[in-house]
Amino acid sequence: MKQIGMAIAVAAAVVIGAAALIGPAVLIGPALADEATPDSEGGRYVFSKQANGFLRLDSRSGAVSLCTEQPVGWACQTAPEDRAVFENEIARLQSENATLKKVLLAHGLSLPPGVAPDASTAQNDSTLRLPSDADIDRAIAFVGHVWQRFIDAIARAQKQVFNKS
């Protein structure tokens, strides 16, 4: 249980560390040292002691709040999270990773073990092969043959209809 509590405290510290781009960086340090304790009702919230209050992790939504004692009681403020910043950073890193893979492959170097080349970075040895004149002639002959068989089938069907009338 203590290891799980520490893992949750570390997870909360990581979320707060990511939010430190916008919020105060002071929230990270003490989260690693103190043991987190779950709420007694259903374990929805996990609390971690901080120097100036408690970090509250909502285990259902993942929201992190800093709870501090106020003159009128305790108040929790949600730590700021800018999802667009995270997604832009992920996109930037994926693009940079693809570029580095292309550079490695362009210089004839192999990628490290366990790293698969992206579809866009894979060296494509096959080139587009256009059909030769002979290929085109065979295709035209095939279509002509199919067309002639179709016309013959229509003619047979007409004969059958006229013969029955």
pLDDT tens readout for residues 144-164: 999 999 999 999 999 999 887
Rounded-to-integer distance, Cα 50 and Cα 69, Å: 12
pLDDT, tens digit, for every residue of 51-107?
Answer: 889 999 888 877 888 899 999 988 988 887 777 788 889 899 999 998 988 888 888
Q: For residue 78, what are the β-bridge partners?
A: 65
Token pair, residue 22, equals 């916008």
Tokens 């106020």, residue? 70
Q: For residue 58, what are the β-bridge partners?
A: 45
The DSSP-derived string for 47-96 is EEEETTEEEEEETTT--EEEEEEETTEEEEEEPP--HHHHHHHHHHHHHH
Rounded-to-integer distance, Cα 140 and Cα 131, Å: 12
pLDDT, tens digit, for every residue of 109-148?
Answer: 888 888 877 765 555 555 778 889 999 999 999 999 999 9
Count of alpha carbons within 13 angstroms of residue 110, beta-carbon side? 3
With vertex at residue 32, the alpha carbon angle to CA 7 and CA 14, rounded to the nearest 5 degrees, is 70
What CA–CA distances, in Å, run from 114 to 110, 117, 122?
11, 10, 15
- What's residue 34's pLDDT? 46
- What's residue 62's pLDDT? 79
Identify which has the larger pLDDT, 36 or 69: 69
- What's residue 146's pLDDT? 97
Identify which has the larger pLDDT, 22 or 9: 9
What type of residue is 153? A
Rounded-to-integer distance, Cα 129 and Cα 139, Å: 16
Identify which has the larger pLDDT, 71 or 165: 71
